[in-house]
Amino acid sequence: MAYLRVYEPLSTFGDPPPGPLVKAVKDTRLTSGMAGEREHTMWIKSQVSTPVRLLPAELANGRAAPSTATDVLVLDPAEVPGETGPGPLVCPLELRARSAAALISFLDDAPPALRSAVGTATGFTPDKARSRAGAALGNLPKSAVHMLTTTWTVPLPWFALVDPDQRRLELGDGQDDPRREMSWRVAMRDARRRVTEARELVGRTLGESGPARILTETERWLTNFDPGSAVELDYGGLVQLITDADLESDTSAEEVHSILAALRSGNIERLAELFDELRGYWNTIAAREHAN
């Protein structure tokens, strides 16, 4: 799973911020590399509990578990290129709320037989599940979750937000090393400027669907957060699927910015070449979904 995260200044969470959150920010040892494992653990716990929980990080009565206030990632503004802060910068995992949003989407899109099977397994009718998920989203302290996720791939428009030269690469001691990381960090003001420029350019040259739609949705999402925030694009668990050599030679961010440059100059031949290269690379990774 790959992530696009927003870290907001702690001061934006309240005046003063809630005591449990302040303590969690001070004491947290959770890193971005550990976040996926933490989420996996919470999912497993929700399914082996008695009774089974509809959502992870939730108590049997449907209320949020205490961990929803303490599962946070923290950055120092000094760790982010550009102007951010004041620090510390905080990204709540918000696993319960993100799972609730995914559940509502599933209930809207899944065939009736599949919805019924899930209801039988969890003991919740679709209407009750939708009501419980809606309540979980209503408990969010902000109007949007601080994290977007995708499985098996990274949406190429996301690379438009970052500076390719600011890549953070940690190979660790192999593909299973939890320290393994590939990510970029960018100040919110720079991310908003880049996504707006890319959205206008792509919409003008390629139309409003496809990549332009993703850029529009991303731009709209970013407006929910404080201008002093930081944005992080993180390959997350995808680094466990990619060899050291392929990670080191990954030029996806550079190629997306080259695509934008080709659109500006009208270099159609170069544009097609770059699209083919990127499509081949990410299709190879995404194809692993069918083998799992």
Asked whether residue 157 falls in the same domain as residue 108, the answer is: no
Query: Minimal CA–CA distance to 216: which of 286, 168, 160?
Result: 160
Q: What is the CA radius of gyration of the chain?
A: 20
Asked whether residue 282 falls in the same domain as residue 189, the answer is: yes
Asked whether residue 115 falls in the same domain as residue 246, the answer is: no
Asked whether residue 173 falls in the same domain as residue 227, the answer is: yes
Count of beta carbons in the 10 Å neighbourhood of residue 100:
27
Q: Do the Cβ atoms of 8 and 90 come closer than 8 Å?
A: yes
Q: Which of 132, 147, 162 is the last residue of a domain?
A: 147
Asked whether residue 267 falls in the same domain as residue 166, the answer is: yes
Query: How many domains is the chain partitioned into structurally?
Result: 2
pTM: 0.91
Q: Which of 104, 119, 147 is the last residue of a domain?
A: 147
Asked whether residue 212 falls in the same domain as residue 160, the answer is: yes
Count of beta carbons in the 10 Å neighbourhood of residue 165:
9
Asked whether residue 141 falls in the same domain as residue 26, the answer is: yes
Pairing label, strands 2-9, 147-150:
antiparallel
User: Helix, strand or coil for residue 121?
Assistant: helix
The stretches of the chain forming alpha helices (DSSP H) are 19-27, 32-48, 95-109, 112-122, 126-138, 188-206, 211-222, 244-249, 252-265, 268-286
Asked whether residue 158 falls in the same domain as residue 232, the answer is: yes
Amino acid at 144: A
Asked whether residue 49 falls in the same domain as residue 119, the answer is: yes
Say what the pLDDT of residue 24 is.
Answer: 95
Domain span at residue 242 reads: 153-291
Q: φ and ψ at 187, to 5 degrees?
A: -65, 145
Amino acid at 239: V
Count of beta carbons in the 10 Å neighbourhood of residue 278:
18
Per-residue pLDDT of the chain (292 residues; tens, 9 = 90+): 899 999 999 999 999 999 999 999 999 888 888 888 888 888 888 888 878 888 899 888 888 888 888 899 999 999 999 999 998 999 999 999 999 999 888 888 888 888 777 777 777 888 888 888 898 888 887 789 999 999 889 999 999 999 999 999 999 998 888 889 999 999 999 999 999 999 999 999 988 888 999 999 999 999 999 999 999 999 999 999 999 999 999 999 999 999 999 999 988 888 888 888 898 888 888 876 545 5
Q: Which of 118, 147, 176 is the last residue of a domain?
A: 147
Asked whether residue 75 falls in the same domain as residue 92, the answer is: yes
Spatial neighbors of 226 by CB under 8 A, at least 6 apart, are 8, 9, 12, 188
